[in-house]
Structure 1
Amino acid sequence: MATPSQIFYESLKTKATKKVYKLWLEKFFEYAHQDYDSIIKLEPEKIKQIIKDYVIHKKELTRKTGIPSPNSYNAIMTPIQSFLEMNEIEFSWKTIKNLYPQRIPTSNQLPYTDDDIRELLGATTSLRNKAFIHFLSSTGVRVGATPDIRIEDVKEIEDGAVVTIYRDTTEEYRTCLTPEAYTALKRYLEQRIEREPDSVLFTRKNNLTPLTPTSAQDVVRNVRKQAKLSIDNGRKSRRGKSQNHAFRKRFEITLASCDLQQRFIDYMQGHFSGNSKAYFNGVSDEQLYAQFKRAIPALTLDKSTKIEAEKEKEIRIIKEEFDGALKEKLEQQDELMQRMLSELATAKVFAYETRYTECFGGKKPDIQKLSKIMSNEEIEDWNRFIPLVQREQDWTIPTGTKSQEMLRDSKEKREIKDIIKRLKKQGDTSGMIEQLEKMLDVF
């Protein structure tokens, strides 16, 4: 039969949660002189009174020392409530929560500035530390996520990279590395002993042992001590800066100032709903990085690199504008050329209609008759322009079918017709016209 502690810890999903819940739960047991098994044997009202006494005890400590923070009571008491509920000991927590102290403004909420981060980078010679600081600065990732990131989770895109966070979990998302941050990461990995695709991205100082959540927290803490940032004088104030979360604050504010779409900003911080996640499943790494590129100049810490990136951006914009204008002009010229060709083709059709009136008059010209009376040159000319006039039907005349005799007959018929026209104009009454017309019937 499962014990109360087994039932409770089986309900928790992550190691980190189990660790925190165990800490606060056992502190409560220590105060109450109880354990996992004995506490659930007490009457619910007795348990409730012990919890109230515990809250009052904690409040006394808060008033005297400031610890625990008034804002942390939910975190302290939730493990106790969860343990009891999992063991089916339930009662109203309303009166207990009414005992919690009033919350105070949260401290350490400011973001790092570029100068702050440059000071941190200047305070360490470790390639690991530099890469880690650049990584947090560029990706905005939670420091607690870094121990689980693998080398294969980093995919190079252009000069930077796309990084998958919490791979193969329901919390999976992607964020990006600037070229500057990616360069720092590559320098660090080059001197690593273990750098297989499935190796962890960051290790401890020995370059072998993976970072733990605690050691990941310590990386920036230790560098910050070396840097002796002026902001450390007010760390526990509203003007203070959290050692790790201040990177995330800067990331969010910077992306917003660079006009990225809000849904991309939220996604690259791991803030998304089910619908949003479904949307980003269809967004490629290249598309994500294209959005991120807008923020690269602002996220870049090296001024020379930033200036170069801004110049490249200006050049790209100018080139795109020039290419666009050139394309538009060529399209206009092409349109004009097509219109001129169409007008020329229409004029040619009219000329042939005038010349060979007997072949026109219906819905379409008599192609077979035209093929007999036109010369090869005329047929070639006709076939060149007729598709410009008639696009729905094929009015081209087959070539290469006229025999020499047909060509000769066609020429003679034209000559006879010309003579008849001249005689008619002259008013000839000699009967010559009648004889010539009979000759035409022979052809």
Structure 2
Amino acid sequence: MQNLKYDNWPKSLNNTTRTGCRFLIMLDSRNNYSTNNNNISKTDWSVALGRKGPLLPAHRLANLYMNKGKDITAVEVNKVLAFSGIKITQSMLDKILNRPRLDFSNLDSNTTRSDNFLQTVGAVRGKIQIPGVYIWTHLSTGDMYVGSSSTLARRLIGYFNGTHKNTGKLIPLIKREGIGAFKLQVIPLIEEYTVNQELSLEQYFLLQSEFNLNTLKVVNNFSGARAKPLYMYTKDLSELIYSSEIQEDFIFKLRIHHNIFSNSLKTGAYYLGKYIFTDKPIVGARESNMTETAINTMLDKDRVEVQSSKSRKVLIKAVDGNNTKLFDSISSCITYLNSIAPSNKTTLYRHIISGKPYHGYICQWVSELTTPIVDKGVQVNVTHVPSDTTVTYPSIRKAALSFAPEYITTGPTIKAFAENGKLFKGEYKIAIISE
């Protein structure tokens, strides 16, 4: 085994940090990829912004490489991670893969306190934290999981202590069968280490089909909100329409407001009555392979249909409750609101979604209203289960508004939780009662 004494570790490990830089994957007519930089041409910017040319999301590239069954090289790794700006050379990848690995078997609660673990991986509270990659192998099935961390000891102790969130395939399996049902292999990155090198190595393994306990095939532990993956499917989850490792792409490329997909993620609400958003890929769903231009054209058509639909009337009610008006379309509503203060459709859409007042009015689609919402004979009990306190509201709408600004919700959501009996935000019991 190589010498892992503290004296041999580079000083740069003391202050390593993860950085997530936003890069876009672009496919040109020669099937060559590049990342955006200061020298990018106007033509390339058109492709990057989705104005022309096809884009290949990172997860789709990963699946493409896996399905080809060919050897994975640094070229494939770098293309998948192009959106992040992280790169690795083939020579460095070969060096890392040929280095000795640390094997731990007969795992139990004492493993992380053993001399072997402490001397090679390190201690949780150690002054120097070793970055690297770890591989779990399920002994009875051979199923594998790969992960990485810039602080291996701290990450691994969470598996042994059971403190990681119960998500994905690996954690529930460990909690069911115990840590002794696995063996652990660790690849510490000490020699010639560069920041985020562990992510490149993890991505290399993720492109190997044997790592079937990983639900995501693109590394996703970059810092910052820009690195949150998002997927848009048809509402039956049978077809993937669009995805990105950066949620902002939905805002700036598809012109979908953040509140829309955030609400869909929280409540399962449909967008334009046809689409739904998830933060994880759906296994078995087919991919549309539509260009961004085609998707925008389709969404624009859907938006027009929704706006022109007779059911999309707009009801506005003054916050003080003294004035209620019904409009046949959003255009006629905007005409009225302009008589009060400058107004536009985009802002009105946003206030309808969030439930926040606009020019002194609460605005809502009539198609989203039900009789109980406008029926004065309906009351809503909201019980905070942990404290066993109940507040009664005179309408579903007022019950929904009571959660703002901590929880932005709508009347239909409150009604749905009342009907299905589930706890809203895991804490509130909703009950609709009649006078």
Query: Which of the pair is proportionally richer in strand?
Result: 2
Query: Which of the pair is proportionally richer in helix?
Result: 1
- Normalising by structure 2, we get a TM-score of 0.21
Larger radius of gyration: 1
Q: Which structure would you say has the larger RCO, counting Cα contacts within 8 Å and 6 or more residues apart? A: 1
